[in-house]
Amino acid sequence: MPARIIDGIAIAAAVRADVAVEVAAYVATGARAPHLSVILAGDDPASHVYVSHKGRACEEVGMTSETIAMPATVTQDEVLAEVARLNADPNVSGILVQMPLPKQVDELTVMRALDARKDVDGLSPENLGLLLQGDPFHPPATPSGVLEMLRREGIDPAGKRVVIVGRSVLVGRPLAMLLANKAPGANATVTIAHTGTSDLAAVTREADILVAAMGRARAITADMVKPGAVVIDVGMNQIEDATRKSGRRLVGDVDYGPVSEVASAITPVPGGVGPMTIAMLLVNTLRAARGS
């Protein structure tokens, strides 16, 4: 039987609807609407599209937002000065620095400069350190989106074997920490694998929940998946496709068709984890506005 499709678009819409209700209640107390400031440096087309989506999502839930566009020639000191200004602005609830930054700007230095309480992407060193202790100001948006998808789909990781293929600071490592926490919706036994793992297929076949976040198109094939496993595809890869007007299309890290015949549930690409990242960014922005 083909796998049940985990509809990230529908789940993200439900999260945004919940956030809109909470924002309305928060503003009704006399508080200022939560405000998200996004620093967008350079001319990366995907970043510009993604940031525009974030702005529309904020408007949809009753938040305000601004995009601070900086040229590709921006210096590190200029970016740091903007971060410092936003850190000090009491009207700014959350700050997001859109990655990638121009090559002359050190991303880690910029992330270190962020006020962790306003770091709604949850990727500053302080937030990642607190994540290791189980209590960040804001959990990273994409990993927390994966947990929220599992929760809303009734998939409980407790006691399950989870294999995450990918060790990035953006997804793999923080997701492992979240899933390993002794908490509702977590409490899993987690293995982090990667492209350098010996006999990767033997490791992935042990997973009750398999998360692909390695950044390689269709790298997870059907023979690598345990029958009945839940498969979460975080990958977003552009491949050539002569049937499309653009000549390219978006695919995940999972070979979707064959794997969907083996798994019990699977996220598509597009329309899976991607929409959840923005939804959870809104959750974090509201939390930052409340100071909780």
Active site residues: 54, 98, 121
Q: Which distant-in-sequence residues (6+ apart) come within 8 Å of 271 by Cβ?
A: 7, 8, 9
3 state SS of 205 = coil
Residue 117: alpha-carbon gap to chain centroid: 18
Beta bridge mates, 211: 164, 232
For 68-98, give the DSSP string.
Answer: EEE-TT--HHHHHHHHHHHHH-TT--EEEEP
Amino acid at the residue 118: K
Closest CA to 155 of 134, 198, 185, 128: 185
3 state SS of 239 = strand
Cα angle vertex 286, ends 136, 154, to 5°?
A: 70
Please state at what angle helix 125-133 crosses helix 172-180, rounded to 10 degrees.
30
Distances (CA, A) of 118 to 188, 191, 291: 29, 31, 9
- Specify the pairing of strand 209-212 against strand 237-240: unpaired
- Specify the pairing of strand 35-41 against strand 64-70: parallel
218 and 242 in contact (C-beta within 8 Å)?
A: no
